[in-house]
Amino acid sequence: MEILELIREPWPWYIAGPLVGLTVPALLIIGNKAFGISASLRHTCAMCLPANIKFFKYDWKKEIWNMFFVFGILLGGVIAYSFLSNPNPIIIDGNLQTELAGYGITEIYGMLPEQLFSWESLFTLKGFFMMVVGGFFIGFGSRYAGGCTSGHAISGLSNLQLPSLIATCCFFIGGLIMANIILPFILSL
């Protein structure tokens, strides 16, 4: 098998999972750093907005590694999208297609339906709730919980932190409520 073919195919859980899991001890052993993404927003604000706000008054230069880590994720996503994308349409289960069609979502060609995630839909009530209100809740929630899903579910749980277990349980419960109760309501607007 060619290396490019290997990279393009989905990796099985028993390979991808340990690779993600080994990131946590590697960061701890190499630099005594905790894995997480949401802290990069705080570092960006502290770097770009040197205001007299207590939350942003710290030595962000010690955490510059996190900015490179996030930049690497962004760059990896751009490379994967540009060179490793599957040209075939995404296959969606017929039952889900029928359910989405009931909400007016019929054009699903990429990872995100353009009827929900586009500049045109941003100015609709449905798009505003999906992108602006949803983005606010994600940002607020990750800051209120002291970290995002990657920080708590991957790093916090591997360090046996009780707050991370509680936060991860709440993430899952919130995801179930969102997918089964709130999202159908928003899509019906």
User: pTM (2 decimals)?
Assistant: 0.71
What is the length of the chain? 189
| Per-residue pLDDT reduced to its tens digit, 61-73 | 888 888 898 899 9
Please report, for residues 92, 94, 95, 184, the alpha-carbon distance to residue 99 in angstroms, rounded to integers and kept in the order given: 11, 9, 6, 10
CA distances from 120 to 110, 114, 126 (A): 17, 9, 11
Q: Summarize pLDDT for 87-137 with one digit per residue, the tens.
A: 777 788 889 889 888 888 888 777 788 888 888 888 988 889 888 998 888
> Residue 5 and residue 2: Cα distance in Å, rounded?
5
